[in-house]
Chains A and B, each alone.
Chain A
Amino acid sequence: MRFDSLIDSVGQTPLVGLPRLSPSPDVRLWAKLEDQNPTGSIKDRAAVAMIEAAEKEGRLRPGCTILEPTSGNTGIALAMAASLRGYRLVCVMPENTSVERRQLLRMWGAEVVSSPAAGGSNEAVRVAKRMAEEHPDWVLLYQYGNPANAEAHEQNTGPEILADLPEVTHFVAGLGTTGTLMGVGRFFRRHKPDVTIVAAEPRYGELVYGLRNLDEGFVPELYDESLIDARFSVGPRDAVRRVRELLALEGVFAGISTGAILHAALAQAAKSHAAGGRADIVLVVCDGGWKYLSTGAYEGTVDEAEASLEGQLWA
C-alpha cells in the first residue's frame, strides 16, 4: 500500500479473527486493529477528520494554535497531524494519566497543561473550556462535541467493517467521547440496522468520579442514546484479565481499554452461544499496550494490577 503522506495512511486497518477466544465456529469474534494507525490508536481518524473539517470551515489557518482536552491518544494523533500541517498544539491532560502519554505528546511537539487528577477528564474539559475563553484566537476542536469525530467513523470505520465482514451481527467499542460508537452506530442504523451496537465504558476508582455536585456531571454532546443497544460498565479487574487473555490466546498486545471492550464482547458472545444462534462480533482494539506498561497492568497478579490501576485513568 502506498500513500502520499502519513496523514493519508490513516484508517483501512486489518480485521482479524480471534479463533481461540471465540466460543464456537458459529459465534466468532473479530478484532479491528486500530493500533495499526500511524500514531498507534483509533484517535488518528478523529484527529485528522477534525483538523480537515476546521480547515474547510476556515477556522484553522496556517500558524493557528489548536487546544484540546485529552487523556492522551487524541492529543498524540493531533500532535502528529498538527506538526505536519504547521499548527501549534496545546493539550490539557489530567495529571493521573500515564507518563508515556505525556512523553509522547511532547515528542510530537505538543505543549501539555496538566489538570487536577480529581475529576479526571471532566476536569480537563473544564480547564480547556476556560483556556479557550482566555484565548479567543485559539481553536478548540473539542472531540466530545465535534461532529467530525463521529463522521470519521460513519464514513470510514463502519464501511470498512461492512466491506470486510458483510455478515457482522455486533459491534463493540469503548465509550469515551462516544465518537466511534455514534459514527459506526449511525452507519449501521442506515445500512444494516440489525447490527447490535454495544458500548463498553471504563469504571474507574472513586477519586476519578470526584466529590462535586451531581448536577455538574458530564455527557458528551455527541452522545445519542438511540444509536446504541447496550452499555456495560467494566472495572479494571475485568479489563486487565481480558487484555492478558487477548495477548496470551491471540497474540494481540492491546491497551487496557481494549480489555474492557473484549469483556463486553465476550458477554455478547456467551449470550449468542447460549441462544444457539450465529454471531459475528466485531470489537475495536483501540491502541497497543505500549503506553500503559508503567501502569503495572501487564505484570504480577491480577490483584496487584488492579491495585496499581486504582486512581489512574487507565482508559
Chain B
Amino acid sequence: MAIEVRVPTILRTYTGGEKVVSGQGSTLDEVIDDVESRHAGLKARIVDGDGLRRFINVYVNDEDVRFTGGLATPVSDGDAVVVLPAVAGGAG
C-alpha cells in the first residue's frame, strides 16, 4: 500500500493530468519528495522554504497539516493527502 495524494486541477500539468498520484514516506515531507521524483516541479508549487506556500492547504485524512506538525506530519500506508488552493468559503 501507498499514500494517495490528490492534486488540484491547477497542478495537474505536473502529473500528466493525473488527479491522484501515489507516494511513499513516513512524513508528509518524504511523500512530497517521493512524488517530486516522478513529477518534477510539483514540490515548488506546494512548498516554500521550510513550510507550505501561503495559498496552499494540505490535509492528511482531512486534517489541515498546519495544525499537526506541518511538513513533518507523520503519515502511514493508506493515508490520504489532499492538496487544495485556499479559497473563501463558508456560508458567508
**Bound CA–CA A229/B82 (angstroms):** 19
**Bound CA–CA A72/B54 (angstroms):** 27
List which A213-239 residues lie within 8 A (CB) of chain B: 213-220, 225, 228-234
Q: Which size bracket describes the interface of B in this complex?
A: 20 to 34
Interface status of B22 (Cβ within 8 A of chain A): no
**Could you tell me if A121 and B92 are in contact, using CB atoms closer than 8 angstroms?**
yes
Q: Which size bracket describes the interface of A in this complex?
A: 35 or more
In the assembled complex, which residues on chain A have CB atoms less than 8 Å from the CB atom of B53? Answer: 214
The 8 A CB mask of A239-270 against B (1 = contact, 0 = none) is 00000000000000001010000000000000
Which chain A residue has the least Cβ–Cβ distance from B66? Answer: A225
In the assembled complex, which residues on chain A have CB atoms less than 8 Å from the CB atom of B55? Answer: 214-219
**Bound CA–CA A175/B67 (angstroms):** 15
**Could you tell me if A315 and B89 are in contact, using CB atoms closer than 8 angstroms?**
yes
In the assembled complex, which residues on chain A have CB atoms less than 8 Å from the CB atom of B9? Answer: 206, 209-211
Which chain B residue has the least Cβ–Cβ distance from A202? Answer: B89
List which A189-217 residues lie within 8 A (CB) of chain B: 199, 201-204, 206, 208-217
Chain B nearest CB from A47 CB (Å) reads 11
**Could you tell me if B89 and A201 are in contact, using CB atoms closer than 8 angstroms?**
yes
**Bound CA–CA A215/B85 (angstroms):** 9
Interface status of B86 (Cβ within 8 A of chain A): yes
Interface status of B84 (Cβ within 8 A of chain A): yes
Which chain A residue has the least Cβ–Cβ distance from B10? Answer: A211
In the assembled complex, which residues on chain A have CB atoms less than 8 Å from the CB atom of B90? Answer: 71, 121, 174-177, 201-202, 257, 315
In the assembled complex, which residues on chain B have CB atoms less than 8 Å from the CB atom of A121? Answer: 87-90, 92
In the assembled complex, which residues on chain A have CB atoms less than 8 Å from the CB atom of B91? Answer: 41-43, 71-73, 174, 176, 255, 257, 286-287, 315
**Bound CA–CA A144/B92 (angstroms):** 9
Interface status of B33 (Cβ within 8 A of chain A): no
Interface status of A39 (Cβ within 8 A of chain B): no
In the assembled complex, which residues on chain A have CB atoms less than 8 Å from the CB atom of B56? Answer: 214, 217
In the assembled complex, which residues on chain B have CB atoms less than 8 Å from the CB atom of A74? Answer: 92
In the assembled complex, which residues on chain B have CB atoms less than 8 Å from the CB atom of A41? Answer: 91
**Could you tell me if B92 and A233 are in contact, using CB atoms closer than 8 angstroms?**
no
Interface pick from B23-31, B57-65, B71-79: B57-65
Interface status of B38 (Cβ within 8 A of chain A): no
Chain A nearest CB from B48 CB (Å) reads 11
State the B residues within 8 Å of A (CB): 8-11, 45, 53-57, 59, 62-64, 66-68, 82, 84-92
Residue pairs across A and B with Cβ atoms less than 8 A apart, 15 shown, are A120-B87, A120-B88, A122-B87, A122-B88, A175-B89, A208-B87, A209-B9, A209-B87, A210-B9, A210-B87, A214-B56, A214-B85, A217-B85, A217-B86, A230-B68
**Known A122-B87, A219-B55, A233-B62; further 19 A-B contacts with Cβ < 8 A:** A74-B92, A120-B89, A121-B90, A174-B91, A176-B90, A199-B64, A208-B87, A214-B56, A216-B55, A217-B55, A218-B86, A219-B86, A230-B67, A231-B64, A232-B59, A233-B59, A233-B84, A315-B89, A315-B90
